[in-house]
């Protein structure tokens, strides 16, 4: 697979990574451990070198899975994980509290290193900006971890432009991870120009719109009771019906390109900037292969103009997060 560099950091990864969250958490029941290991290793065999996890996925179980799966290939792959959540005593101990105090970051790093079976975290993201801790303190803690050789690169997730600038002034930020896809283009307004100016890479999560842009979800689709999409406004049956027009458009282009809607959605991201690396997640081998296939699809300037022109006429219905989670982004 083609390689890409995340910003000016020289961190080189495969053009498409693998978001591992869904193997353990978020989109229904966790997969069997052997199946999860097998899928991650299949990705390595097919040229994927960039794997994304987080302490909170599980919590802990996703990092353990990724660590075990990648142990034999450690020198060939880049592992990204995240810190910043903690158990909330007011919420039955669920991991819904933010905690980016420097001492907590250092503790979290030690735990992640053990679970990932490694002596260094390649890319360590603050999972969400903590309003109670100045971002300069977070970046300072990251600088120390980098100096100690425990972390190679500092990342932020869902941070706003001013936070990115302030963090980058203390410790260079290698990558920002935020949601971005043909049905969530908000980062284009302020975030992407700032990243380009600062030389920071961009890692879009949910590049397939949490599965919607694959064309395999419609208004009739029923999600497992543990599936996060049950509480996402954009996934109410009426909004799914309204948003189907976007999938229909992708399907038409896909037919012309002898590809799938998912491949067109990923190829569109790859065509935006050379420093963008999407991390679609999946639990199925055939989907993994389909996603990887997107790296070989070339969209011409004319294709991109047509997609932009057509999508500008399709207003996407529904918020991407429920209100309590929406307030945690772009701080």
Long-range interactions of 324-329: CB distance < 8 A, separation 24+: 328/98, 328/128, 328/129, 328/158, 329/128, 329/158, 329/178
Q: How confident is the model at residue 103 (pLDDT cuts 50, 70, 90)?
A: very high
Residue 251 lies in a domain: no
| Average pLDDT of the residues in 88-113 | 97
Distance CA 174, CA 9 (A): 6
- Predicted confidence at residue 288, as pLDDT, reads 98
Chain segment 214-270, per-residue pLDDT in tens? 999 999 999 999 999 999 999 999 999 999 999 999 999 999 999 999 999 999 999
Predicted confidence at residue 66, as pLDDT, reads 98
Q: Which pLDDT score, from 0 to 100, does residue 25 have?
A: 94
- What is the C-alpha separation between 37 and 39, in angstroms, rounded? 5
The number of domains in the chain is 1
Q: Is residue 78 part of a domain?
A: yes
Percent of the chain predicted with pLDDT > 90: 98
pTM of the complete model: 0.98
Give domain status of residue 303, yes or no. Answer: no
What is the reported pLDDT for 151?
98
Burial zone of 88 (CB within 10 Å; 0-12 exposed, 13-18 middle, 19+ buried): middle
Q: What is the pLDDT of residues 67-78, one digit of tens each?
A: 999 999 999 999
Catalytic residue check, 321:
no
Residue of 321, 266, 249 whose CA lies nearest to 19: 266
- Cα–Cα distance between 242 and 259 in angstroms, integer? 24
Q: Which tens digits make up the pLDDT trace of 268-299?
A: 999 999 999 999 999 999 999 999 999 999 99
33-45 helix and 61-70 helix, angle to the nearest 10 degrees: 50
The answer as to whether 219 is a domain residue is no
> How does residue 166 score in pLDDT terms, banded at 50, 70 and 90?
very high
Asked whether the beta carbons of 86 and 95 are under 8 A apart, the reply is: yes
- pLDDT band (50, 70, 90) for residue 155: very high
Q: Are 148 and 170 in contact (CB under 8 A)?
A: no
Residue among 57, 124, 125, 180 flagged as catalytic: 57
Domain contains 244: no
CATH number at residue 189: 3.20.20.100
Over residues 135-147, the pLDDT tens digits come to 999 999 999 999 9
Q: Chain-wide mean pLDDT for the chain?
A: 97
Residue 168 domain flag:
yes
pLDDT (0 to 100) of residue 295: 98
For residue range 196-218, list pLDDT tens digits in order: 999 999 999 999 999 999 999 99
pLDDT, one tens digit per residue, over 83-93 is: 999 999 999 99
pLDDT band at 111 (very low <50, low <70, confident <90, very high): very high
- pLDDT tier at 162, thresholds 50, 70, 90: very high
Residue-range definition of the domain harbouring residue 158: 3-212+274-297
CA 271 from centroid of its chain's CA atoms: 18
Q: What is the pLDDT of residue 31?
A: 97
What is the per-residue pLDDT for 187? 97
- Asked if the structure places residue 66 within a domain, the reply is yes
CA angle 208, 213, 215 (to 5 degrees): 140
**pLDDT value of residue 1:** 94
* 3-class SS letters over the chain: CCEEEEHHHCEEEECCCEECHHHCCCECCCCCHHHHHHHHHHHHHCCCCEEECCCCCCCCHHHHHHHHHHHHHHHHCEEEEEECEECCHHHCCCCCEECCCHHHHHHHHHHHHHHCCCCCEEEEEECCCCCCCCHHHHHHHHHHHHHCCCEEEEEEECCCHHHHHHHHHHCCEEEEEEECECCECHHHCCHHHHHHHHCCEEEEECCCCCCHHHCCCCCCCCCCCCEHHHHCHHHCHHHHHHHHHHHHHHHHHHHHHCCCHHHHHHHHHHHHCCCECCCCECCCHHHHHHHHHHHHCCCCHHHHHHHHHHHCCCCCCCCCCCHHHHCCCCC
Quick one: tokens of 48? 């994927």
Judge whether 317 lies within some domain: no
130 phi, psi to nearest 5 deg:
-95, 115
- Give the whole-number percent of the chain exceeding pLDDT 70: 100
Angle at 242 between CA 238 and CA 246, to 5 degrees: 140
């Amino acid at each position: 697979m083609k390689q890409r560099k995340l910003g000016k950091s020289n961190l080189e990864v495969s053009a498409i990574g693998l978001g591992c969250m869904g193997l353990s958490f978020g989109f229904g029941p966790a997969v069997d451990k052997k199946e999860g290991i097998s899928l991650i290793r299949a990705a390595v065999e097919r040229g994927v070198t960039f794997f994304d996890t987080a302490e909170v996925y599980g919590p802990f179980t996703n990092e353990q899975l990724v660590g075990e799966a990648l142990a034999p290939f450690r020198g060939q792959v880049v592992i990204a994980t995240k810190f910043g959540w903690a158990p909330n005593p007011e919420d039955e101990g669920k991991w819904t509290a933010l905690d980016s105090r420097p001492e907590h970051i250092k503790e979290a790093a030690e735990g992640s290193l053990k679970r990932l079976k490694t002596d260094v975290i390649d890319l360590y993201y603050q999972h969400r900006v903590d309003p109670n801790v100045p971002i300069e303190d977070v970046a300072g803690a990251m600088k120390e971890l980098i100096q100690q050789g425990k972390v190679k690169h500092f990342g932020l997730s869902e941070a706003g432009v001013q936070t990115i600038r302030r963090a980058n002034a203390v410790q260079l930020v290698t990558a920002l991870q935020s949601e971005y896809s043909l049905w969530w283009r908000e980062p284009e307004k302020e975030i992407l120009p700032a990243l380009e100016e600062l030389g920071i890479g961009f890692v879009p999560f949910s590049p397939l719109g949490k599965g919607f842009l694959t064309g395999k979800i419609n208004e009739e689709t029923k999600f497992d009771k543990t599936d996060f999409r049950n509480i996402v406004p954009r996934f109410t049956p009426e909004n799914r019906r309204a948003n189907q027009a976007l999938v229909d458009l992708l399907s038409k282009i896909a037919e012309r390109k002898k590809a799938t809607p998912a491949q067109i959605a990923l190829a569109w991201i790859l065509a935006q900037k050379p420093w963008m690396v999407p991390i679609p997640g999946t639990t199925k081998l055939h989907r993994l292969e389909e996603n990887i296939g997107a790296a070989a699809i070339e969209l011409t300037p004319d294709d991109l103009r047509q997609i932009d022109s057509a999508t500008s006429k399709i207003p996407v219905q529904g918020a991407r997060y429920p209100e309590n989670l929406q307030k945690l982004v772009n701080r």
